[in-house]
A = this chain, B = another copy of it.
Amino acid sequence: MIWCSGWELASAVSNAGGLGLIGSGSMYPEVLRAHIQKCKAATSKSFGVNVPLLYPDIDKHLEIIVEEGVKIVFTSAGNPAKYTSWLKERGITVVHVIANSKFAKKCEDAGVDAIVAEGFEAGGHNGRDETTTLCLIPMVASKIKIPLIAAGGIANGSSMLAALHLGADAVQMGTRFVASNESSAHLAFKEKVIATNEGDTILTLKELTPVRLIKNPFYELIQEAYNKGADKEELLELLGRGRAKKGMFEGNLIDGELEIGQIAGIIHDILPVQNIMENLIQEFNQAKQEMITFEF
Instruction: Mark A residues whose CB is within 8 Å of B.
Output: 100-102, 119-121, 128-136, 138-139, 142, 152-154, 156, 158-159, 161-167, 198-199, 202-203, 229, 262-263, 265-266, 281, 287-288, 291-292, 294, 296
A154: B residues at CB distance < 8 A: 134
Provide the bound-state CA to CA distance between A205 and B130, in Å: 16
Q: Nearest-CB distance from A22 to chain B (Å)? A: 24
**CB-nearest residue of chain B relative to A102?**
B198
Which of A134, A139, A296 has the most chain B CB atoms closer than 10 A to its own CB? A134
**CB-nearest residue of chain B relative to A287?**
B165
**CB-nearest residue of chain B relative to A127?**
B199
CB-contact partner of A135 in B102, B129, B153, B281, under 8 A: B153
Which of A101, A152, A265, A266 has the most chain B CB atoms closer than 10 A to its own CB? A265
User: A120-B130, A135-B153 given. 20 additional CB < 8 A pairs?
Assistant: A100-B198, A101-B198, A102-B198, A120-B132, A121-B134, A128-B199, A129-B199, A130-B202, A131-B265, A132-B132, A132-B133, A132-B134, A135-B263, A135-B265, A138-B266, A139-B198, A139-B265, A161-B291, A164-B291, A288-B294
User: In the bound complex, do residue A134 and residue B161 qualify as a contact, i.e. CB atoms below 8 Å apart?
Assistant: no
CB-contact partner of A131 in B119, B129, B130, B262, under 8 A: B262
A128: B residues at CB distance < 8 A: 199
